[in-house]
Amino acid sequence: MLKFNSFSKASSFIFLSVALTFSFSHSAIAKPNLQPLGENIADIGSKYYQFQIKEFKSTDQQRNYKVWLGIPKQINRQQAQPSIFMLDGNSVMSRLNEPLLKEMTEQQAPVLVAIGYRTNLPFESNSRSLDYTPADQTGKPSIDPRNAERMSGGSEAFRKVILEQITPWVSSQVKLDATRKALWGHSYGGLFVLDSMLTTDSFSHYFSASPSLTWADQRMLKKIANTAVTSIKTKQLLLMEGDMSLQQAAKVSPNFDSAMIQNNRQVISDLNKQGVKAKFLIYPNLSHGEVFGTSLMDVLSNRLF
């Protein structure tokens, strides 16, 4: 079993995940599947987890968040529990199943907090574009540089909802262990994880999966290079990225980052210089989209926190 907090504290570490063999397929280069979702494990019911659902509103009252809280049934309610907060909660919930939950309870099962939107789609593209991305120097939302039909730069307001509304609700239902409280996000969500590591001490472990580091003229790369991280002794970061070849990348969207591995290494280097425990996990031959499910399952199954 891989333990993130057992990784060496030395300089940047690249772990080549060879336990699984991945093959390239056309699905790796397709746009995200936006077909409506069916019932998930919270709807069906689980022998191992008790699920609750609660909705919250954005600070501007324009977006409705749907949050699934999964609490292991066999826990000591008097003891603080490990937890993982996951973005793109609709898609996350569609990937959870009874065998996975059973496997998780064979260890110290974490509390699950899947933060999504009031929709039956796996991704709410317009909303996540605004909520997951950092603002420019004005500090205000602006048009997404990658899509003029979407807004961006609302991560601070979204983080406030998580910290001031969602987390207190979760804590009212189950006691959380502050030393094992994780945040996971993919793509724009990966940017949100990185931004949160810089701006809040509310989590102990940060899992940034295939973050869109070239977005907005490398805004997050520049922010990391120029921001002093607080509470470095209580934070750990794991970057998770696929290394799909450039030949395959030619078939992908123009947003593909041909320097993604180097950009991730730069993040690790900048943070290591500050003393942050930041590591890098590479998935051979996986595309940006495929890293979503694989990284999520790694965090849940291998308990990297």
Phi-psi region of 130 (alpha: psi -120 to 50; beta: other; left: phi over 0): alpha
Evaluated on CA atoms 156, 162, 164, 165, the torsion sign reads positive
How distant is the alpha carbon of residue 254 from its chain centre?
23
Phi, psi of 113 (to 5 degrees): -130, 100
| pLDDT of 5 strictly over 80 | no
Q: Please, which residues bridge with residue 10 across strands?
A: none
Of residues 241 and 15, more confidence is placed in 241
Closest-CA residue to 95 (of 109, 81, 116):
116
Q: How far apart are CA 24 and CA 30, in angstroms?
A: 12
What are the tens digits of pLDDT across the range 51-106? Answer: 999 999 999 999 999 999 999 999 998 999 999 999 999 999 999 999 999 999 99
| pLDDT of 7 strictly over 70 | no
Name the token pair of 284. 């051979």
Phi-psi region of 216 (alpha: psi -120 to 50; beta: other; left: phi over 0): left
Q: Which amino acid is at 106?
A: E
Q: How far apart are CA 295 and CA 208, in angstroms?
A: 9
- The arithmetic mean of pLDDT across residues 111-129, rounded, is 97
Catalytic residues: 187, 288
What are the tens digits of pLDDT across the range 199-242? Answer: 999 999 999 999 999 999 999 999 999 999 999 999 999 999 99
Interior CA angle at 284 toward 278 and 286, to 5°? 100
| pLDDT of 26 strictly over 60 | no
| pLDDT of 9 strictly over 50 | no
Q: How many helices (H) and strands (E) does the chain have?
A: 11, 11
pLDDT for res 252? 57
Q: Please, which residues bridge with residue 281 across strands?
A: 15, 240
Share the mean pLDDT of the chain. Answer: 88
pLDDT for res 119? 96
Q: How far apart are CA 260 and CA 258, in angstroms?
A: 6
Q: What confidence category does residue 6 fall into, taking pLDDT thresholds of 50, 70 and 90?
A: very low
